[in-house]
Structure 1
Amino acid sequence: MPRYLISFNDGAMDHIPAEELPEVGRDAHAVIQEAVNAGVFVYGTGLERQQASIVGTDGVVTDGPYPETKEVIGGFVVLDAASRDEALKWAAKIAVSCRCAQEVREIMPDPETEAMLRAAGR
């Protein structure tokens, strides 16, 4: 079954007043519970705002924030969905619950990595 990344940009929820955030959290968790119950949820979470570290090919680490970066991921969900249409329907539910637009991308399967995981018992 294809996997899909559903994500939103950091700052996409900044328009939500602080007093509404508990309700947003409840609504988002209700959609996640629905996805768990439907057997499509793989993983999802929010990301710390602009706390990235970049590790170069030479091993040099540069810590953010990076103000020149226009868009970074603020949170994401990975789903096993039967089709892109199904993933888009889940993204619509997530968009309503989080009160912000969601981006949907199919995750490219990697048979070699999948074989490594199976061999490791995962």
Structure 2
Amino acid sequence: MTKYLISFPSEAIDVPEGELQAVADAAHAVAQDAKDAGVWVFGGGIDESVPPVVVDADGTVTEGTYPQTSQIEGGYTVLELPSYEAALEWAAKFAHACRCAQEVRAFGHDPAS
């Protein structure tokens, strides 16, 4: 089975503040459905209050990030699924719960890991 990343950027959520708890509850319900189905691997949101850093092979830590990844934030879910079509179905469930479109990407298989 393949692991799929289902995600959205923070700015995609455009919900009135009074409805944020309902969105969170709906997303948690879909996450629980994924756990109950045995496909859940990981999920969570990037803590945007912790600034990113880049760590070199020699241990040097530099504040900031790669320019092309400066906008990595938002919510992420990793599910292990039997097909791409199943990933699209789960993404639709999360899109409905979060009230925003979800991006789907497949992780490559590394037979050595």
Equivalent residues in 2 for 1:63-74, closer than 5 Å: 63-64=63-64, 71-74=71-74
4+ residue runs of structure 1 moved beyond 4 angstroms? Answer: 65-70
Distance 1:31-1:72 versus aligned 2 partners, 3 A rule: same
**Aligned partner of 2:60: which letter?**
V
What CA distance in whole angstroms lies between the structure 1 residues aligned with 2:53 and 2:63?
Answer: 4
Name 1:36's counterpart in structure 2: 35
**Structure 1 residue 81, shift from structure 2 partner:** 0.7
Equivalent residues in 2 for 1:1-122, closer than 5 Å: 1-13=1-13, 15-49=14-48, 51-64=51-64, 71-113=71-113
Percent identity, please: 48
**Structure 1 residue 55, shift from structure 2 partner:** 1.6
What's the TM-score, normalizing by structure 2? 0.86
**C-alpha root-mean-square deviation of aligned residues, in Å?**
2.2
What's the TM-score, normalizing by structure 1? 0.80
What CA distance in whole angstroms lies between the structure 1 residues aligned with 2:82 and 2:41?
Answer: 13
Distance 1:112-1:66 versus aligned 2 partners, 3 A rule: closer
Contact 1:10 1:49 in 2 (8 A): no
**Structure 1 residue 112, shift from structure 2 partner:** 1.1
Q: Which runs of 5 or more structure 1 residues have no equivalent in the other structure?
A: 114-122
Distance 1:64-1:20 versus aligned 2 partners, 3 A rule: farther
Task: Please identify the structure whose Cα radius of gyration is greater.
Answer: 1
What CA distance in whole angstroms lies between the structure 2 residues aligned with 1:91 and 1:28?
Answer: 11
